[in-house]
Amino acid sequence: GLALGLWRRQAALAAAREDEEEKELRQRFMAPPVSGLRELRRRRRELRSRMELLIMETQAEVCRALTALDPGASFAVDSWERKEGGGGISCVLQDGEVFEKAGVNVSVVSGLLSEEAARQMRSRGKSLKAKDGKLPFCAMGVSSVIHPKNPHVPTMHFNYRYFEIEEADGTKQWWFGGGTDLTPTYLNEEDAVHFHKTLKEACDKHDPKLYPKYKKWCDDYFYIKHRGERRGIGGIFFDDMDSPSKEEVFQFVKSCAKAVVPCYIPIVKKHCRDSFTPEEKLWQQLRRGRYVEFNLVYDRGTKFGLLTPGSRIESILMSLPLTARWEYMHTPLESSKEAEILEVLRNPKDWVH
């Protein structure tokens, strides 16, 4: 009887502890996780669960940091389900005083890879052996684009994701991808240095070779070929990262995700009250047009989303600004502030040495 009483008391304590933990997690996130808290806790040692918790935490951290700078505005939180498997949480702020549009999305999806998506992956050198033409996959990530109102505050984008595919013989291929990059309307060297240094510190904790490699990858990836210029002043970008080990890559991705707020928020704080002219606002609109061109023509994530059956178009196109402009044959004056940023977009700089 004594042992049973003790066991009951311990079970009640464990249940109370679990409830407490659940409450705390709920408060930490913007919405309940796609996989459910119980399921995540049950599989908490598995990397998939730890990655889902990381993307949920990153979403909440970034949303809170942005809301603190734009207190009159609030995020619309939209949880959605995908009938083929999984779902996501879209947090979007529109028409604030500081941010014209800011979106921070989480998605956790699973199902069968579409032929078109598999073809896209094979073109990157992945040998995917399908079973009866079917490739079960699981993908999750956090993705964000922030378009501020003030032309002196840069646009920022980040994305961190994990992908897993099960082949015909049951072996699993997995990889991580992601990055963080900055798109200013006007060049501020001090901001560029701060942004790149913060990302470099996050990379250097793991391997000093990573930052230069991923900085170059970022400059090459965000290239608007038909314009001969980069989308912005870069940052870091990587894909198909599957070594040295799952745990080491996960820890690296975690460091990068934790660097998002410190690399960007100080820049917003510094410039969100700067005065600007109608001409500067016009230039920002033209640069936004370039942003749209890259995202719709070249961005791999956008393409993958548009090719995935049952994907949520509103969340995929969240990266597009509320406003943008295209003018025929617009050329800035020589040696103007507008020409200065174009020079850097055509010839990327090393910001940290």
Going by pLDDT thresholds of 50, 70 and 90, the confidence category of residue 209 is: very high
Cβ atoms of residues 178 and 58 within 8 Å: no
Q: Is the dihedral of CA 109, 111, 116, 119 positive or negative?
A: positive
- Please say whether the beta carbons of 159 and 301 come within 8 A: yes
Q: What is the total residue count of the chain?
A: 353
- Average pLDDT of the segment spanning 66-78: 94
On whether the CB atoms of residues 84 and 282 are closer than 8 A, the answer is no
- Architecture per CATH, domain 27-346, reads as 3-Layer(aba) Sandwich (3.40)
Over 90: is that where the pLDDT of 20 sits?
no
Q: What is the CA radius of gyration of the chain?
A: 22
Which of 152, 157, 196, 271 does the annotation list as catalytic?
Answer: 157
Residues 285, 170 contacting (CB under 8 angstroms)? no
Is the per-residue pLDDT at 268 higher than 70? yes
Share of the chain above pLDDT 70, in %: 97
**In the prediction, which pLDDT does 8 show?**
80
Tell me the C-alpha distance between 345 and 82, whole Å: 38
Which one-letter amino acid corresponds to residue 7? W
Q: Is 206 assigned a catalytic role?
A: no
- Confidence grade of residue 283 (pLDDT, cut at 50, 70, 90): very high
Task: Read off the pLDDT band of 12 (50, 70, 90).
Answer: confident
For residue 21, what pLDDT band results from cuts at 50, 70 and 90? low
Least confident of 42-56, 270-284, 304-318, 334-348: 304-318
Residue with tokens 């198909």: 240
Mean pLDDT of 90-113: 94
The band of 26, judged by pLDDT with boundaries at 50, 70 and 90, is: low
Any idea where the domains of the chain sit in the sequence? 27-346
Report the mean per-residue pLDDT for the chain. 92
- Provide the whole-model pTM: 0.91
Kindly indicate the confidence band of residue 304, based on its pLDDT and cuts at 50, 70 and 90.
confident
| Range with the poorest average pLDDT among 93-97, 151-155, 312-316 | 312-316
- For 223-250, the pLDDT digits (tens) are 999 999 999 999 999 999 999 999 999 9
